[in-house]
Amino acid sequence: IPKKIKNICCIGAGYVGGPTMAVIAQKCPEIKVTVVDINEQRIAAWNDKILDNLPIYEPGLSEVVKEARGRNLFFSTDVDKAIVEAEMVFISVNTPTKTYGVGKGMAADLKYVELCARQIAKVSTSDKIVVEKSTLPVRTAQSIKTILDAEGKDIQFKVLSNPEFLAEGTAIEDLHHADRVLIGGDQDVDGLKAIQCLVEIYAHWLTKERILTTNVWSSELSKLTANAFLAQRVSSINAISALCEHTGANVDEIANAIGADSRIGSKFLKASVGFGGSCFQKDILNLVYIARSYGLEEVADYWNQVIILNDYQKRRFAETVVNTLFNTISGKKIAVLGWAFKKDTNDTRESAAIYVADYLLNEQAELMVYDPKVKPEQIYADLDYLNTRSEEENRRLLTVVTNPYEAMDDAHAVTILTEWDEFKNYDWKKVYRGMKKPAFVFDGRNVLENELLKSIGFLTFNLGRS
Ligand code: NAD
Ligand code: UGA
């Protein structure tokens, strides 16, 4: 086991690897941190002199990169060199849902993780602590260890699990002030030493009470469990939102009322058009798959319901738009405000907006999309990926604009699909004047001031209000 960590390598320069390593480098100036990736374009963007060109938009990220890059933070495509130099190697590559073979549509695809393990095994010439940063099925550490040891070299590998809990849009804040970090490792002498090496890194900026240590399996499974619980809260409140619309109850008032109970807590109770993001669905599907693989059908069904409810919520919102617009939106111009899966990120993976837009396009609506951070090519790529209609048709029916007023001008309806702050500050009187009448607003995030909109003349739909 390496005594002191002087060099860290992180494989995968994505949403997790980039910000996490930038913060470690910022807080541990004596450690050289090298983030590597096979995606040359991504690495070039991380190295771009113009900080606005970093591949990921996160509040506060460019300041951290500016402070550490070139000092002790490096981005490179030379994966082998960085592995050889490092005493500690983080695996932070993507673990998407499998799209083929056994477990298709459910299980996590571990091919990228396995490739990393094989590469580490092949090129290493000294002892290493290998850290699972990616979100992985419980017991993956076992497979990684087997692969690492299979080269039969006279060096020692220790595998730790250190799942990441940051949320996009608040990544830097979450890393700087983490509620906790979790480190799982073998509970023998060497395992505990390896755990200690990683504890010391986080102890540069977090108090010891916030650094939890467990066995490897608890750590791996805690990550899937945390995401399942979080997503479950969203599905729970969204289920109640549907009931509110029929009963005169107001979902935001309910969230307040139940959130005041300290056992329930007030966070993560915002009704929405559905949760998105690269991980909630993927991780729950994975959890469901693992439960089924052990024959735990009731457990699997229980968690699967969180996904079913989320799909229902997206569909329900889109149906409401069609029903309210007199059962036809064919040829009608509808503004879509927001494409990212949540505010303050340019990430669109699994965004509810994609599915709502697809539904509305099936009804032959003409969509005008505006998002402050998402690029037009991303929006088209997201739709094309669904394969519902031809690429030409997607471009004919959907236009991406850079001015929100242009999106709403002459439209029959406005839909709010991401909770961007700027939407609140638009000149809604001006918007109303420009729209077809009756002018509808469907607020899928309950962010606009409903009373104000109504006083202007809008007909409004809010989630969870009758
Ligand atoms: P990402 O797709 O943004 O980044 C992964 C990167 O790994 C890509 O740039 C890819 O090119 C690179 N890569 C893949 N295979 C490689 C290889 N063999 N060698 C070198 N580079 C390789 O993914 P992400 O969002 O950063 O997620 C990474 C992991 O972290 C996933 O397991 C995810 O579930 C987990 N996670 C993500 C978040 C999040 O907010 N996005 C939060 C917590 C955990
Ligand atoms: C989530 C978790 O919050 C992180 O702890 C975890 O590390 C991460 O997944 C991951 O493993 O990838 P993230 O997906 O970035 O983070 O963002 P969240 O803030 O959790 O939001 C997820 C989705 O739920 C968004 O679409 C958001 O709009 C929605 N949401 C969230 C609601 O609809 N209502 C809420 O009250 C909260």
Taking the centre of ligand 2 as the mean of its atom positions, its distance from the CA of residue 392, in whole angstroms, is: 33
Q: Which ligand is nearest to the CA of 134?
A: 1
Question: Does the annotation flag 250 for ligand binding?
Answer: no
Which residue's CA is minimally distant from atom 41 of ligand 1?
Answer: 15
Give CA 298 to chain center in angstroms: 27
Which residue's CA is minimally distant from atom 10 of ligand 1?
Answer: 12
Which residue's CA is minimally distant from atom 27 of ligand 1?
Answer: 94
Q: Which ligand is nearest to the CA of 259?
A: 2
Question: Does the annotation flag 282 for ligand binding?
Answer: yes
Q: Which atom of ligand 1 is nearest to the CA of 167?
A: 40
Question: Does the annotation flag 61 for ligand binding?
Answer: no
Kindly list the protein residues whose Cβ atom lies closer than 6 A to any atom of ligand 2. 135, 164-168, 227, 230, 234, 268-270, 272, 275-280, 341-342
**Backbone φ/ψ region at 164: left (φ over 0), alpha (ψ -120 to 50), beta:** beta
Question: Does the annotation flag 168 for ligand binding?
Answer: yes
Taking the centre of ligand 1 as the mean of its atom positions, its distance from the CA of residue 37, in whole angstroms, is: 10
Report d(CA 247, CA 245) in Å as an integer. Answer: 6
pLDDT of res. 3: 78
What tens digit of pLDDT does each residue of 148-201 get?
999 999 999 999 999 999 999 999 999 999 999 999 999 999 999 999 999 999
Question: Do residues 144 and 113 make contact, with C-beta atoms less than 8 angstroms apart?
Answer: yes
10 assigned to active site: no
pLDDT of res. 333: 98
What tens digit of pLDDT does each residue of 257-307 get?
999 999 999 999 999 999 999 999 999 999 999 999 999 999 999 999 999
State the Rg of the chain over Cα: 24
Look at the block and give the residue holding tokens 């595998």: 159
What tens digit of pLDDT does each residue of 356-390 get?
999 999 999 999 999 999 999 999 999 999 999 99
pTM for this model (two decimals) = 0.96
Question: Does the annotation flag 143 for ligand binding?
Answer: no
Which residue's CA is minimally distant from atom 3 of ligand 1?
Answer: 14
Kindly list the protein residues whose Cβ atom lies closer than 6 A to any atom of ligand 1. 11-17, 36-39, 42, 79, 92-95, 112, 115-116, 134-135, 164, 166, 168, 278-279
ipTM of the shown complex: 0.98
Which residue's CA is minimally distant from atom 29 of ligand 2?
Answer: 275
What is the side-by-side order of every strand in the sheet holding 73-76? 73-76, 32-36, 7-11, 88-91, 128-132, 157-161, 181-184, 211-214
Domains and CATH numbers, the chain: 7-214 (3.40.50.720), 222-466 (3.40.50.720)
Residues counted in the chain: 466
